[in-house]
Structure 1
Amino acid sequence: MTLDAPVDRSADLTSRARQDGVRFLLALFVDLTGKPCAKLVPVESADTLQHEGVGFAGYAVGAMGQEPSDPDIMAIPDLASYTPVPWVREGLALVHCDPHVEGKPWPFAPRVILKTMLERTDADLFAGAEVEYFLVNRGPDGTVTPADDKDTDARPCYGARGLTRMYDHLTEVSTAMNALGWGNYANDHEDGNGQFEQNFAYADALTTADRVITARYLISVLAERRGMTATFMPKPFGDRTGSGLHLHLSLWRGGDALFPGDAEHGLSTMAHQFLAGVLDHAHALQAVLAPTVNSYKRTGATSTRSGATWSPRRPSFGGNDRTHYVRIPEGDRIELRGADGSANPYLALAATLAAGLDGIARSGHPGETGARTRPELPPTLLHAVEALAADPVVSGALDAAGPGVASYFAELKRAEFFDWHSTVGSWEHDRYLTAF
């Protein structure tokens, strides 16, 4: 199969699959936690998949707002997301789907939520995403270590030797990204031992969110083939840098970029208003951008082996300064650094868009560049969830396609926090077993 051959995007799913030599289609969507769910559909049933979808028991899927008694979720493919993935299996393609229930888009589906938010604005949101992850092994006793046992430098970031030892994995992922037209332009060893990042070009927000999910799938499967585990867990090692999902954001209208300003100020008035909205709603946003208990081990870190955490502690902004919640690397976009590897990209982009649009609607002002006067970000997932529940703008983004999603998500995350909180671990044994 030659992926760079001209593709007839007007063709139906069956024709495109047969043109590419595809024998099976992975009909995929994610639940609210970002868990990828799929069914494997033979090409002989591609027409049925395209026009009727494929059914799932919604309660069995996971966090999708359903009970066992509810009707099936039907995953309807978005043909624009059709992606051959022969690096995973020869003859396999992936297509992202929009879950429907009884003929209507399901409001608890993250992709549906983002699409609804995008339809509500007269501008187009473009996004780039920096996907960071660790390559690890897990021993029989549960111990997690970097897959490369020679990756022990105190400051391994950009290390040429560590990068080269993972050459086969990284180049296979890069080759796949470029064959798919994503424009992979860099692959590097990140700040933690065993940590890597593979960058691809920005696109419209929905396409970028789809690509983040596809990238996680590709990276995970290709790592497993080499006996490794790829983890997007925010903080797998307490003494090392965590993994972010930095989002580069800009608004466009009619092909014109709306964020660039003049040479003196760099960003336009609209960009500053958007930025103000993001900062004003940062505490609530963190429940979506950093949605796990482990996330707050990253944002709450005070030191690492390398000497820097690279994660923000306050909702501040500045120029080309990676210690801020929002960095302005160029005069045409902003970089939101609050999200981590556990973030659901559809929800992250939907919630951030809502926050930014609120800033524009209120003619907000972000304050002084570099100022760190706003309260610190939530210290735990529970604090972030309470901020979400009290913020009608961010909650409203989750409820964009229908009511009840924000409260369902909040309860899901409260339960996650208390499930962790009620677990007795080695820290408590070490601290309390003989302390009294």
Structure 2
Amino acid sequence: MAQRTTVADRLTTVLGTVLGSAELPVRLRGWDGSIAGPPDAPVLAVRDRRALRRLLWSPGQLGLGRAYVSGEIDIEDDVFDTFSALSSVGKLSETGPMRPPTLADRLTLVRTTASLGAIGPDPAPPAEEADLGGHGLRHSRRRDAAAIAHHYDVGNDFYELVLGDSMVYSCAVWDSPDVGLDAAQEAKLDLVCRKLGLTEDSRLLDVGCGWGSMAIHAAGRYGATVVGITISEEQATLARKRVAEAGLTDRIEIRVQDYRETADGPYDAISSIGMAEHVGRARLPEYVAQLSGLLRPGGRLLNHAIAWNAGEASWSEDTFIARYVFPDGELLGLGEMVGAVEAGGLEVVDVEALRRHYALTLRAWVQRLEENWDAAVATTTEGRARVWRLYMAACALAFESGAMGVDQVLAVKPGGEQPPLRRTDWV
């Protein structure tokens, strides 16, 4: 085996050990300008020795993520091409958490890191990493509020740059990839309203209402009376402003309220879009029971949630997405969600899978973030913008590969009028 002399050559040993693959799918550029790896592969630049220390102490997804968020590792080519290449080999090609390194792997990392003068204490995590340790038990109301604040209270201006005019932070519904993000989000909101059978006489509860887009659409287009609840103060502030600007304050009330505290039923319909991921597996029966109790007989619930596809498990606490994006978030399988809804006494009348739609949505968000990069960094931090870029691009690839899905489950509370015989009211 030829002697490796450049920084880039030695970096290939480090990354290959972390990934568990002798054949790297990317080129590596060292901080000295040296480069090594397949000539036509996307380039990953290691700009600082601290990246090696992070990989020495956390040799996996978390160490790589921390180095990227800190700017110690950077992507020189297309973000999707780079992440796709990295996830095609070794441990990153597996779903779920990466397998821990062997003792031999750790010895290789120590020797190579030492040869590059990078041995040292574990660097402090970037400021963007979540720490909910002082906020009580997992999925307590206090801790859920802290988890939501970590993800959603990062600046409404930042989200507007990423999401566009629709201000909808969930999977859009695309007639084709060419319709544009705003039109696809409007189509999703309209689909939900039609599935719920909203009319001027309807009273809708929108759980996890975000910045008010669903409430505004339901009230403005269908005449419904809407209560929107969120536990994000920043979301509620902007949602109220948008409701006032739409002239709908007589039909929409926005509350800062946990779903477990809502007690003013009955409602004709409940929408929960992109919120169930924050509930937690242990709390799922309580969640379904609470929403069922708020529905009148014959009322409809639409639960729109990301899911692990068959055979997969939710992310562990040491993954990048759990530490930086959705602390305490838990994804369930579609079968588990349907089973919980039925066990809660509701009848499931329709299920629609939107996996490919979310891949298109995430790619559109990444495009907006990259087009508005300087402004996005100015509204928050460069580290936060890097977190969102990494997680949205990686999730887009996960939806494209089928590792993750997203589903709308429509259920009816027994005892009232029957839903339509067929789906013709909303297709």
Fold conserved between structures, TM > 0.5: no
Greater share of strand residues, 1 or 2?
1
Q: Please report the TM-score for the alignment, with normalisation by the length of structure 1.
A: 0.24
- Which of the two has higher C-alpha Rg? 2
Greater share of helix residues, 1 or 2?
2
